[in-house]
A = this chain, B = another copy of it.
Amino acid sequence: MNDIADHRMRAAWTRDGAAATELAPRAVRWLTQRIGRCVPGAPVAPDSALLVTPSRLPGPAAEKLAVIVGPEHVLDDPGERLARSGGLSYLDLLRRRHPSAGLDVPDAVVLPADPGQVQRVLDVCVEHDIAVVPFGGGTSVVGGVNALRGGKDAVLVLDLERLDRLVSVDPVSRIAVLQAGVRGPDAERMLSLHGLTLGHVPQSFERATIGGFAATRSAGQASSGYGRFEDMVESVRLATPKGEWRLGVAPASAAGPDLRRLAVGSEGTLGVITEVALRVRPIPESERFEAFAVDGWDRGLAAVRHLAQRGLLADVTRLSDVDETDSALALAGNWKTALLRRYLAARGLAEPCLLVLGWYGESVRRRREAVRSLRAAGAVGLGRAPGEAWRRSRFAGPRQRDALLELGVCVETLETAAHWSDLGALYERVRAALRESLDRPLVLCHVSHAYETGASLYFTVLAARDEADPIGQWQRAKHAASAAIADSGLGTISHHHAVGADHAPYLAAEIGDLGVAVLTAAKRAVDPTGILNPGKLLP
């Protein structure tokens, strides 16, 4: 396929690569000046060093599972079990470097081939009272796939990677049915053969799955243009201990509460999502990324708010605060960024905040009006190069984190969202909490999802790792930030990372004890023995 055909046939995001993840020596020097000297700590432990107790999966259950999925799809060797022991949070990664920290290792991994097999696997787990952890791309950063037992003797990981099909496409209604295990790039590749795209590109895009996006209420980088994942869900099919459950027959309904919205975000606690019918769109024929600089965070927020409230948001909208802008320039650390700094200073921007905007397809035409609005607000155009640079490295975050981890940096992200009038106060509270609970941290923040009534705040935290207690160090900082959010009542405990195990203690502050009681009651109705993803979502 030549370049032009490729461009037409495949959505732009499938071509976005990961930028170089090695940090230049100058960048490392800058970082250690800011956060203090870092000592490369324990390396990733070899599997043999991690404690893997013998599988407790009962023999009769193993036999039944083998009959359902085939013996080659019931895995109990330590390597396979370790590979599905948790997700990709900083704590998850630390636990692989510190064998004594205790990984939650499942007793087996089962790989069903289709929704029917998922249902039958659940039936066996009900019969033998085995806990079940649904597993997609394993990219949870909130402990959402940790193999907790919830009081059961055995726990198995239900890996959905074999549910990898595009089941059907309805080009008239613009709906595609995808199985839960389809990863982001594969979804786009299969849809591209029909000239269609989903347009859902979270940073986890390369590994995360359709089922995971639905289970966690994911939001992609292009959420302003394509919507949050929950907005794309037309219908959903779940396997539950009480049988199969299908929800959603129409684009909109008033037939009681929208139960699709109960399934979406249920994080495997109400059922295993096996198929999702999703709204799709034609592949955009063009795209354009551009960057601007605004003087100061408050002005930047106001500029984004005006775009959102006038219906002029770009499909991708991303505003970095002063520190994140400064860090991005310092870590890139080349002659171009030096030039950019001089240019911004010459234009009188004392506290430049970088704003990256991206437009796809027909919305490229809306660009002009947005740019006019930005210039009126004092934004300085930086052209396409820095916008394109961001686009090229859009999925590089996790790899960059790996590189920092190797250097002995404590590095993690956390996020929230609030209404516009609360956003400034919440920003300050979270920053203060992180600064007070860590020694000389670098706290960076950006808005990457904007709405008419508010926006998300995404924090990146870097600090010199405390090798004596790296896990405790981050747990204390994370708790300080989470408590700042929950106690303030100003924001949500998560805008798009979900609850998992890590945010469960803060959920009641947000949805009330009654909310917890309602979710618990709903769970009991579909999962009376509590085998589904124990220890997640519900406190």
Of the residues B219, B311, B503, contact of A252 by C-beta under 8 Å: B219
A256, B511: Cβ atoms closer than 8 Å: yes
Please judge, given known A-B contacts A255-B503, A495-B252, whether A526 and B510 are in contact too, CB under 8 Å. Answer: no
Q: Does A346 contact B (CB under 8 A)?
A: no
Which one of A73-81, A82-90, A416-424 is at the interface?
Answer: A416-424
Please judge, given known A-B contacts A173-B420, A257-B261, A263-B257, whether A251 and B452 are in contact too, CB under 8 Å. Answer: yes
Which one of A155-163, A349-357, A391-399, A516-524 is at the interface?
Answer: A516-524
Q: Does A10 contact B (CB under 8 A)?
A: no
- Who on chain B is nearest to A493 by CB? B255
Please judge, given known A-B contacts A255-B492, A257-B266, whether A510 and B249 are in contact too, CB under 8 Å. Answer: yes
Q: Does A362 contact B (CB under 8 A)?
A: yes
Q: Does A63 contact B (CB under 8 A)?
A: no
User: How many angstroms from the CA of A456 to the CA of B279 in the assembled complex?
Assistant: 17
Of the residues B219, B256, B507, contact of A266 by C-beta under 8 Å: B256
B419, A170: Cβ atoms closer than 8 Å: yes
User: Which residues of A449-493 are within 8 A (CB) of B?
Assistant: 449, 451-456, 489-493
Q: Does A276 contact B (CB under 8 A)?
A: no
Q: Does A100 contact B (CB under 8 A)?
A: no
A251, B216: Cβ atoms closer than 8 Å: no
Of the residues B218, B234, B256, contact of A507 by C-beta under 8 Å: B256
Return chain B residues, CB-CB under 8 Å to A216.
254
Please judge, given known A-B contacts A219-B252, A258-B217, whether A247 and B511 are in contact too, CB under 8 Å. Answer: yes
User: How many angstroms from the CA of A249 to the CA of B488 in the assembled complex?
Assistant: 11
B255, A510: Cβ atoms closer than 8 Å: yes
- Who on chain B is nearest to A142 by CB? B254
Which one of A11-19, A44-52, A183-191, A238-246 is at the interface?
Answer: A238-246
Mind listing 6 A-B residue pairs with CB under 8 Å? A172-B421, A250-B495, A251-B419, A255-B492, A257-B261, A257-B262
